[in-house]
Amino acid sequence: MNPHDFLQNLALVLCVGALAAVLFHRLNLPVVFGYLIAGMVVGPYLPIPVVADVELVKTLSELGVILLMFSLGLEFRLRKVADVAATAGPAALAETTVMFGLGYGFGTLVGWTPLEALFTGAMIAISSTTIIAKTFAELGVQGRLRELVFGVLVVEDLIAILLITILSTLASGEALTATALGLTGVRLASFLAALIALGLVVLPRVMRYVVAIGRGEFITIAAIGVCFASALLALAFGYSVALGAFIAGSLVAESGHGHEVEQRIEPVRDVFVAIFFVSVGMLIDPAALAEHWPAVLGLTMAVMAGKMVAASLGTFAAGSGVRDGVRAGMSLAQIGEFSFIIAGVGLSTGAIRPFLYPVAVAVSALTSLATPFLVRASDPVAQWVDRKLPRALQTYAALYGSWIARLRDGTGDVGEATMMRRLVRVVLVELGLLAALVVATGAEMGRGAPMLQDWFGLSAAMARGVLVTVAIGLALPLVVALVRATHLLSLALGLRALPAPSRGLDRAVAPRRALVASLHFAMLLASSAPLLLVLQPFVPNVPTIGVFGLLVVALGVVLVQSASSLYGHARAGAEVFALALAQHGRLREGPAEIAATVRRVSQMLPGLGDPVPLVLDASSPAAGRTLRELDLRGRTGATVLSLTRADGTAVAGVPSGAQSLAAGDVLIVAGTEDAINAARAMLAPPVPPPGL
């Protein structure tokens, strides 16, 4: 290419992008919109006499993705990535599984080929790191939500790599075997382990040496060089450049100079990220949107609704609370760069028709436009959702997070760990056998049914019915074994989180029962969702969706029943807390003594989390307001178990939203550690720990 052509294209993209960004900033609209509109202006589909080279801009935009992922890695040291993955993993798995199923179901319902339906599911399964990062940067989103969402995105990127590998195999016409899939996973794990091990030895030392020189340009050049080298290495092994760049950022962060490096590369990163969004806008074809608008609209609705619900439930199930779950779900409701990669794989191999690529781009553009508004609205929506939950479910949601935190912190003996590993193996074996049985039945139906017709003179429908009946009969023992294994595993986990006493009355029966029931059905749902997803090409679509829907309804019924039982336990606990504070002469005690009393009572009533007393003084902003006006649960995720007045009288049961607060009141608050800290900052000054 002529160097002047390169300069012309770069100048055109940046100048038009800058004008659009300034205009949208003045209109108080997200700058991302401006970049997308700029892309349409310089793109090939509008009759405007300023057209940039699509392939050149696309190449430059890939640098933006690499630098953005490197910047994100600088914020996540390796230990932090591992910690976040414990919460983000279930949410990512839930979201990608549900979205893959929705995409496949949508493609099947509108008459696309099975392979096109599979590619559609993969295209809408992965959220966009680039779009979310830009939106969070513009809106100043920090803290727990940022960590949680980017943890989900990292796990989704790994899932995307597996999806691309599987779909490439299917598109080439080769048989996808369990051995090939297992080898793919082993190769990915080996590559990551080798890259991290080598990087930990070299990169932190190199970056410390470069920073010690004291020349800013050296830091910039070295950091960007490491970023591109790692991305190129990942590409050479057949993996995503984004994955390599993220790992490089995490390794550089281990040097302790991640923040300084990030400041140095930020201007370069912003330039290429802007080019990325302009390149997306260049792919938007208004004519294709007009022709295929039903598919675009349907997939857009599926992406936004499906991701919000699936990611919210998955995040909550991992112990992050209702508020964080809803906010994370609304932040992840879009698709982006991986959707283009997956669509490109399908187009290059002939697995999908050309119209699907612009459809994917259009869905990405629409969901990208909605993302800033969804992120802004996520906090009030989360508060509204939590406020509208029945009181029993509110109490359950607040305590569930504390149980999961205990479960993560709990330790068991060697025998317990061995038993859990054995149960996990049993679950995996049963799932594998079920999948093999259904796949074999579906694959052999075309040959088995005619054989039965010839041998026994059966009709075609009856022959198929006989084969299905035999398959169901063979599957029932496997299903029973799966249900039993997941129940035993959930029971073991429940005892780890809420241990039973060696003797005497077991006061944790109600909360443990609620936890075990929740974990049991969550495991069944989590194991059956990927199974049903794998089986969709081999079984009718509507029955598959129906089975999954029944499981979701069953889980909802169990949660409601468990929450009702737990609420009675919480009401009894509230009475005990109030009685203990009154008997111990609360008015004559200081904060430390009150905290010690609450701790002793909570040891007698396990399962109520780790309750903390908050004493309202005259300067508290909560004094004179009701719990409903404060919206304590919606804003912090904590729940008030007990309320004792300054004169020693106690509010009966769990306080309702109509209860007003006054100086001198003592509130017993439960929830996750983050929720309690937020409630403390909102209600009262810190309470010294017992004994101080």
- What is the 3 state secondary structure string of 16-68? HHHHHHHHHHHCCCCHHHHHHHHHHHHCCCCCCCCCCCHHHHHHHHHHHHHHH
463-485: pLDDT as tens digits: 777 777 887 788 788 888 888 88
* Cα–Cα distance measured from residue 33 to residue 135, given in angstroms and rounded to the nearest whole number: 11
Per-residue pLDDT at 272: 84
pLDDT band at 260 (very low <50, low <70, confident <90, very high): confident
Of 513, 439, 519, 435, the C-alpha closest to 479 is 435
- Paired tokens of 488: 């035993």
Q: Specify the 3-state DSSP secondary structure of 643.
A: strand
In this structure, the number of other CB atoms found within 10 A of the CB of residue 507 comes to 20
Of 491, 448, 499, 498, the C-alpha closest to 471 is 448
| pTM value > 0.75 | no
Handedness of CA 289, 290, 294, 298 (dihedral sign): positive
pLDDT over 80 (residue 488)? yes
pLDDT band at 608 (very low <50, low <70, confident <90, very high): low
* Cα–Cα distance measured from residue 219 to residue 632, given in angstroms and rounded to the nearest whole number: 45
pLDDT band at 422 (very low <50, low <70, confident <90, very high): confident
Cα-trace Rg, the chain:
28
pLDDT over 70 (residue 587)? no
For 63-129, list the strands marked E by DSSP: none
Residue pair 387/631 in contact by the 8 Å Cβ criterion:
yes
Per-residue pLDDT at 650: 67
Q: Mean of the pLDDT values across residues 281-304?
A: 85
Q: Mean of the pLDDT values across residues 541-567?
A: 68
pLDDT over 60 (residue 654)? yes
Residue with tokens 């004994």: 691
Give percent helix, percent strand, percent coil of the chain, each to the nearest 5.
75, 5, 20
41-55: pLDDT as tens digits: 888 888 887 788 888
Burial of 435 (0-12, 13-18, 19+ CB in 10 A): middle
- The size of the chain, in residues, is 692
150-207: pLDDT as tens digits: 888 878 877 777 777 677 766 666 555 555 556 666 777 788 888 888 888 888 888 8
pLDDT band at 301 (very low <50, low <70, confident <90, very high): very high
Q: Mean of the pLDDT values across residues 386-407?
A: 75
Q: Which residues contact 595 (CB under 8 A, 6 or more apart)?
A: 612, 613, 687, 688, 689, 690
Q: How many helices (H) and strands (E) does the chain have?
A: 25, 3
* Cα–Cα distance measured from residue 207 to residue 227, given in angstroms and rounded to the nearest whole number: 12
Q: Specify the 3-state DSSP secondary structure of 208.
A: helix
Q: Specify the 3-state DSSP secondary structure of 660.
A: strand
- Biggest CA pair distance of the chain: 91
Per-residue pLDDT at 579: 67
* Cα–Cα distance measured from residue 532 to residue 479, given in angstroms and rounded to the nearest whole number: 13
Range of weakest confidence among 242-246, 377-381, 544-548, 673-677: 544-548
Q: What is the DSSP string of 527-568?
A: HHHHHHHHHGGGS-HHHHHHHHHHHHHHHHHHHHHHHHHHHH
Per-residue pLDDT at 691: 45
Residue pair 642/577 in contact by the 8 Å Cβ criterion:
yes
More confident residue, 120 or 338: 120
pLDDT band at 517 (very low <50, low <70, confident <90, very high): confident
**Alpha helices (H) in 584-657, listed in sequence order:** 591-604, 627-630, 632-636
* Cα–Cα distance measured from residue 22 to residue 17, given in angstroms and rounded to the nearest whole number: 9
Per-residue pLDDT at 653: 63
Q: What is the mean pLDDT of the chain?
A: 77
pLDDT band at 19 (very low <50, low <70, confident <90, very high): very high
pLDDT over 70 (residue 537)? no
pLDDT band at 83 (very low <50, low <70, confident <90, very high): low
Distances (CA, A) of 139 to 28, 132, 323: 12, 10, 18
pLDDT over 60 (residue 689)? no
Please give the helix or strand (H or E) that residue 615 lies within, else none: strand 612-615
Per-residue pLDDT at 154: 79
* Cα–Cα distance measured from residue 168 to residue 188, given in angstroms and rounded to the nearest whole number: 16
pLDDT over 80 (residue 219)? yes
108-165: pLDDT as tens digits: 888 888 788 888 888 898 888 878 887 888 888 877 788 888 888 878 877 777 777 6
Q: Which domains does the chain have, with CATH numbers?
A: 3-388 (1.20.1530.20), 411-692 (no CATH)
pLDDT band at 627 (very low <50, low <70, confident <90, very high): confident
In this structure, the number of other CB atoms found within 10 A of the CB of residue 201 comes to 10
Distances (CA, A) of 629 to 8, 614, 640, 656, 664: 58, 18, 14, 12, 19
